Amino acid sequence: MSFDLKHLPRTFDDLVIADPLNATVIQQYCTQPPSKPLLLAGPPGACKTEAARVIAYSHFERHNIQHMHWEFNAASLGKDYEAKIMAEVNHQMFANPDRALIVINEIDEMDLRSVQPKFREFMDAKRHLIRFVATTNHKSRIMSALLSRFRLLDLDPPSSTDWVLRALSILHAEGLNPDRQDVTLMLQSFDGSARDLIDLIEETVMASKAIKQ
């Protein structure tokens, strides 16, 4: 397994969310989710997709739900989104009393005029069956009537300080023993995304192992 896949966030504690209030809302959706669909908005690197996936993982584990294809990109859903989504919903709800959960990334990629109005109607019609979690880099491209169906969270990219505990955890999992101050110094000039962080940590682990050899 590649280093990045090995250290993908799987639980809420693995996430790095810049704003504590936003973190509290995301944790709520991981544990006792409100009924309203959730939309995570913000620039690349704000951990939107990671948070959406962790909410899904938590839901599936909590209810022991079997699933097939629960994550979609709006650009590839197309106009036949209902058939694709309902196939997964029916699979998840087999012998499961709770609602299914569907993640839609880049929901703004749905066509504003031809798809978004119909998708809003679909959400209303299936609200008793489906929990939706969506992400967007461009909430201004979402029609207001669809946007109003979601609880909106605006996420900012984490700072280098925000990443310290997550980086420390990964380094310890890889058998290294830096302290918090060491990692703070390592990240003092870091200004990247979660993917950039994983690359930096992998390089650090490889360098450390090379030295030991």
* pLDDT by position in tens, the chain (length 213): 899 899 999 999 999 999 999 999 999 999 988 889 999 999 998 999 999 999 999 999 988 887 789 999 999 998 899 999 999 999 998 878 788 999 999 999 999 999 999 999 999 999 999 999 999 999 999 999 999 999 999 999 999 999 999 999 999 999 999 999 999 999 998 888 888 889 999 999 999 888 877
Query: For the segment 109-134, what is each residue's pLDDT rounded down to a tens digit?
Result: 999 999 999 999 999 999 999 999 99
Is 88 among the domain residues?
A: yes
pLDDT at residue 72, rounded to an integer: 97
From the centroid of its chain, how far is CA 71? 10
**Same domain, yes or no, for 54 and 110?**
yes
Amino acid identity of residue 119, one-letter, is F
Q: Domain total for the chain?
A: 2
**Same domain, yes or no, for 113 and 169?**
no
What is the rounded CA–CA span in Å between residue 43 and residue 46?
A: 6
Element (H, E) at 96: none
Cα 30–148–138 angle (5° rounding)? Answer: 80
Is 131 among the domain residues?
A: yes
Final residue before a domain boundary, out of 154, 182, 198: 154
List of long-range contacts for 1-7, beta carbons under 8 Å, 24+ apart = 3/198, 3/201, 3/202, 3/205, 4/195, 4/198, 4/199, 4/202, 7/170, 7/173, 7/198, 7/201
**Same domain, yes or no, for 131 and 194?**
no
Range of the domain at 66: 3-154
**Same domain, yes or no, for 197 and 149?**
no
**Same domain, yes or no, for 31 and 68?**
yes
Is 159 among the domain residues?
A: no
pLDDT at residue 150, rounded to an integer: 98
Is 173 among the domain residues?
A: yes
Question: What CATH number is given to the structural domain containing 132?
Answer: 3.40.50.300
Contacts of 65 (CB under 8 A, 6+ apart): 59, 92, 96, 98, 100, 101
Amino acid identity of residue 133, one-letter, is V
**Same domain, yes or no, for 136 and 48?**
yes
Is 202 among the domain residues?
A: yes
**Same domain, yes or no, for 10 and 112?**
yes
Amino acid identity of residue 16, one-letter, is V
